[in-house]
Amino acid sequence: MEQHDTFSKLIYEEQTHLAERELSSFVAAVTQWFGPQEAKLSAEFWLQESELIDSPPRSEPRDWHAVTIAASARLTHRFY
């Protein structure tokens, strides 16, 4: 059981790192194109979308790029 726990922890840490990188890249791009106000809002959208994605337990990989796409769509709807 200890080996399974270690494996799950490693997957969780990797997923956390991937999510942080994805969010950071998204916010940087929004800041560059739309400024810091929209970047702050886009980060909130991203975090909200990350809670909504249909995914298995945290020990399984998530599609963080899908979260970025959903947050981008929400941001786009603000302008139209």
- Cβ-based neighbours of 34, under 8 Å, separated by 6 or more: 42, 75
**Rounded to an integer, what distance in angstroms lies between the CA atom of residue 44 and that of residue 59?**
24
Token couple for 28:
């940087």
Instruction: Find out whether 26 and 42 touch, Cβ atoms under 8 Å.
Output: yes
Q: What is the pLDDT of residues 24-70, one digit of tens each?
A: 999 999 999 999 999 999 999 999 999 987 665 554 667 899 999 99
How many domains does one find in the chain? 1
What residue numbers bound the domain in which 37 lies?
Answer: 2-79
**Rounded to an integer, what distance in angstroms lies between the CA atom of residue 26 and that of residue 65?**
10
What pLDDT is stored for residue 3 in this prediction?
Answer: 67
The pTM (predicted TM-score) of the whole model is 0.80
